[in-house]
Amino acid sequence: MWIRISIVFCLALGCLACLANAATLKVPGAINVKDYGARGDGKADDTVSFQRALDAAHTAGGGTVFAPRGNYFFAGHLTIPNGVTLQGSWQSVPAHNGIRDPGLPKPTDDGTTLLVTENAGHEEGPPFLTLGTNSTLRGIVLYYPRQRPSEVPKPYPWAIALRGKNPAVLDVELLNPYNGIDATKNERHLIRNVHGQPLRRGILIDSIYDIGRVENVHFNPWWSMQPKLRNWQMDHGEAFILGRSDWQYVLNTFCFGYKIGYKFVQTKAGVCNGNFLGLGADDCQTAVVVEQSAPMGLLITNGQFVSFHGPDPTMVEVTDTNRGSVRFVNCAFWGPCNQIARLAGKGTVGFSDCTFTQWDSKREGRHAIQAASGTLLVRGCEFQQNKPQIELQQQVRRAVITGNLFSGPPRIANHSQGSVQIANNAELPD
């Protein structure tokens, strides 16, 4: 009995010691920004002090610049040189639900927070943080204190820009930037464990000619759910935007409350192909929009997609500009949307082993999947409502609809003048 009490007492003392150490966390061998004049009081401009510390680490051949717990105010922007890490006190990405009003002097008291203020009202300025080759940002909260949670947001430049080779953003909270991470013109970027509420754009990926990686990124309305800002974000926000990327890997990502969850576009550099596993988009007007994709395809597996707000809530929109291949495998589509998918273009769209839970919420007789053109594959999927399942319009070139489960009789409108195979689908009688 006494042994157990002693163990518990020692563990409690250990926890208290950990809490005490957290306030004075140090990184061995690192340059401390406070040794270069940084105040961290939320008032004095720490831009010059931080940049001096970062440049000193680069001059020394690379290394870590450590920013201990504090609220660091910035009137300017920073460049993290090649081979340098800027590290805060957080050991994993935090979350700040219901943060205090930004007008108060101390928005956070529990870690390393960078207060960004430069170029309020202007998107065209330089990013707040630009990372170069082998540069890393880690354990930091980025907060825009002059944004108001009850108002339409002010534009700002990108919070973070990734350049060079192997730039990394790890364990970072993007609490309320207007634009989050500009991951363009780099190779082998790594964005891992990033949370927050980017208001207009979350992550932009383009001009990536060697494999990029995005892992465990979650964009939720933690900063503000107040009506004016929330409605603006629902009408304008885009969480993940992907242009040219040669084999992009995206793993376990999520977004809530955007106009578009995942948007695939063609840029001057080209289009995207890649492996997308464990995607989630909740309460987005359109969960996935594909304007263009590469011939080798977008491979989307184990996704969960929900749409029920906006003028025409839709899970998947493939536009008439698409020429590539898009495949959804083992994905679930639910929420009272108007339709699961609206498809056009000359490319191929496939659904395999997917679950379609709800559609035609207004009882207008809409089909779950509406194909205007191109090639459609629907195989081994379950349609859980007794409503129209698939519509093939005249310009659909090819379609294979086989091995599916229907609740009620098959309700497939086939107007295609192309080659269509419909077979071996099982219905659940009334």
Taking the domain 26-204+216-227, which CATH number applies? 2.160.20
Query: For 373, how many CA atoms within 13 A lie in the half-sphere containing its CB?
Result: 12
pTM: 0.92
Where in the chain are the domains? 26-204+216-227, 237-430
Q: Has residue 416 got a pLDDT over 90?
A: yes
Residue of higher predicted confidence among 28 and 329? 329
Residue 424 CA to residue 430 CA, distance in Å, equals 19
Mean pLDDT computed over 400-412? 97
Mean of the per-residue pLDDT values for the chain? 92
pLDDT band at 6 (very low <50, low <70, confident <90, very high): very low
Tokens read off for 217? 């990124």
Q: Has residue 25 got a pLDDT over 70?
A: no
- Among 62-71, 102-111, 395-404, 411-420, where is mean pLDDT lowest? 102-111
Q: Tokens 């509406």 belong to which residue?
A: 370
Q: What is the tens place of the pLDDT at every residue in 143-177?
A: 999 999 999 999 999 999 999 999 999 999 999 99
Q: Has residue 408 got a pLDDT over 70?
A: yes
Q: Tokens 């920004």 belong to which residue?
A: 33
Task: State residue 37's pLDDT score.
Answer: 98
| Distance set, CA 187 to CA 41, 199, 303 (Å) | 36, 26, 26
Cβ-Cβ contacts under 8 Å for 356 (sequence gap 6 or more): 333, 340, 368, 369, 381, 382, 383, 384, 385
Q: Which amino acid is at 279?
A: L
Q: Has residue 430 got a pLDDT over 80?
A: no
pLDDT band at 246 (very low <50, low <70, confident <90, very high): very high
| Distance set, CA 378 to CA 108, 259, 354, 375, 402 (Å) | 50, 26, 9, 10, 7
Mean pLDDT computed over 416-430? 92
Mean pLDDT computed over 320-333? 98
Cβ-Cβ contacts under 8 Å for 21 (sequence gap 6 or more): none
Task: State residue 9's pLDDT score.
Answer: 30
CA 307, 384, 389, 350 torsion-angle sign: positive
CB neighbours (10 Å) of residue 117? 16
- Among 15-24, 224-233, 370-379, where is mean pLDDT lowest? 15-24
Q: Has residue 96 got a pLDDT over 90?
A: no
Residue 328 CA to residue 71 CA, distance in Å, equals 44
* Count of helix runs (H) and strand runs (E) in the chain: 3, 37
Q: Has residue 3 got a pLDDT over 80?
A: no
Mean pLDDT computed over 361-377? 97
Q: What is the tens place of the pLDDT at every residue in 82-92?
A: 999 999 999 99
Percent share of the chain, pLDDT over 90: 88
The dihedrals phi and psi of 86, each to the nearest 5 degrees, come to -100, 115
